[in-house]
């Protein structure tokens, strides 16, 4: 832990033996959480403390309680929407839905060109969740739900799973550079 104060906490992560085993780079991650009423702010700063380029992408995976998937309505605007990040991406429909796939363990929508904010309303519990973010650093979005679970994941991303191993699908910071990724969640 780096620091804590009323309504905020800041945590840091530096490389260790375990991180270097799977990710052989020098870095410093600083995550700052703030709370102001019904809004939680999250800001991740990635700093390259090494002497070679630092490849990475950012995704946060927040899970929000949902009464039932059938009760959830999304208000999300995106350029494309698909169930797979590979291949040509189809244009997003006017209304993006997340429905259970027979025989699949989960339901997913991968989106590019996502506009802030993303929002969903759950008619079963009456809650609305709004995720706001900077579109210049978060260009992708994900909706996800595991069948039979009572949550929905709605998140801004700037890459996809394993994009750090795919040329042109991740960010690279030069030695000494840093970048901050800030977003917020409001529950109403």
* Alpha-carbon span 170 to 184, nearest angstrom: 22
Confidence at residue 169, expressed as pLDDT on a 0 to 100 scale: 67
Query: Could you report the average pLDDT of every consecutive run of 10 residues in the chain (188 residues)?
Result: 78 94 95 96 97 91 91 96 83 90 82 96 96 93 86 88 68 95 96
Confidence at residue 123, expressed as pLDDT on a 0 to 100 scale: 97
| Residue 91 DSSP code | B
**Any idea what the Cα angle at residue 182 is, between residues 54 and 94, rounded to 5°?**
105
Confidence at residue 163, expressed as pLDDT on a 0 to 100 scale: 67
* Alpha-carbon span 185 to 64, nearest angstrom: 10
Which are the contacts of 179, defined by CB distance < 8 A and separation ≥ 6? Answer: 45, 46, 137, 171, 173
């Amino acid at each position: 832990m780096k620091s804590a104060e009323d309504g905020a906490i800041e945590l840091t992560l530096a490389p260790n033996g375990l991180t270097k085993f799977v990710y052989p780079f020098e870095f410093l991650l600083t995550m700052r959480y703030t709370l102001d009423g019904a809004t939680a702010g999250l800001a991740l700063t990635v700093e390259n403390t090494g002497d070679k380029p630092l490849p990475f992408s950012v995704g946060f995976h927040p899970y929000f309680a949902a009464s039932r998937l059938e009760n959830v309505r999304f208000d999300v605007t995106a350029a494309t929407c698909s169930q797979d990040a590979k291949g040509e991406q189809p244009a997003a429909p006017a209304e993006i839905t997340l429905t259970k796939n027979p025989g699949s363990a989960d339901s997913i929508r991968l989106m590019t060109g996502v506009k802030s904010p993303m929002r969903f309303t759950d008619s079963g519990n009456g809650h609305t969740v709004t995720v706001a973010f900077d579109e210049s650093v978060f260009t992708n979005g994900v909706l996800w739900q595991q069948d039979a679970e009572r949550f929905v994941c709605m998140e801004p991303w700037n890459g996809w799973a394993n994009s750090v191993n795919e040329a042109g699908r991740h960010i690279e910071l030069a030695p000494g550079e840093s970048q901050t990724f800030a977003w917020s969640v409001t529950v109403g």
